[in-house]
Amino acid sequence: MASTADFRNGMTINLDGTLFTILWFQHHKPGKGNTVVRSKLRNVLTGAVLEKTFRAGERIDEVRLEHRPMTYSYTDGHFYHFMDAQSYEDIPLAGAVIGDDQLKYLKEGMEVDGLVHGENVISVELPFFVILTITQTDPGVRGDTATGGTKPATLETGAVIQVPLFLNEGDVVRVDRREDKYMERAK
């Protein structure tokens, strides 16, 4: 058990059986009344953000989450299968647990960070920067590289991003998956 005095950004707490991560908090002393702690919390499973106010000194359940390296193996159409790098066991996860924003960059053999509560994997986090091959894009026209324009490109995982005009099919690029943004050519 912890109290509101122990709050820190990134701390995971259990509220009514649901896990939340503290994104932001602030102790507030109004002119009248008791001190309160305002907070912004993110649901660990759904990603939904919630604003909640606690009384100062209120007791809360702090949850310890473990990070485990995992490798994405394959999908069977219903579940995405990951291999735990420590125990080598197969862990099937539903697409909703992974999230659509991450699924479009998930590639076989990719190393991910699994978030474990107890013995259950509750989510996975892909690396912020992924290296993927362009499978489809319009050819660049000679002389267009100086304009700084962009064109859509489909990556090997099916994600579509904007890339500079000089890139072609088969080029390997580094992408910031959080912003769906081309960063650079990969060596």
The range of the structural domain enclosing residue 156 comes to 129-185
Say if residue 76 is in the same domain as residue 56. Answer: no
Confidence of residue 31 (pLDDT cuts 50, 70, 90): confident
pLDDT in tens, 3-20: 888 888 888 899 988 888
pLDDT at 5: 86
pLDDT in tens, 41-55: 988 877 788 999 999
- CA dihedral in degrees (124, 125, 130, 136; nearest 10)? 50
Q: How far apart are CA 88 and CA 81, in angstroms?
A: 12
pLDDT at 108: 92
Give the end of a domain, one of 46, 62, 78: 62
Say if residue 39 is in the same domain as residue 70. Answer: no
105 closest CA partner among 67, 186, 160: 160
Give one DSSP letter per residue of 41-95, joined into a string.
Answer: EEETTT--EEEEEEETT-EEEE---EEEEEEEEEE-SSEEEEEETTT--EEEEEH
Say if residue 86 is in the same domain as residue 120. Answer: yes
pLDDT in tens, 19-30: 888 889 999 888
45 closest CA partner among 114, 103, 112, 123: 123
DSSP state letter for 180: T
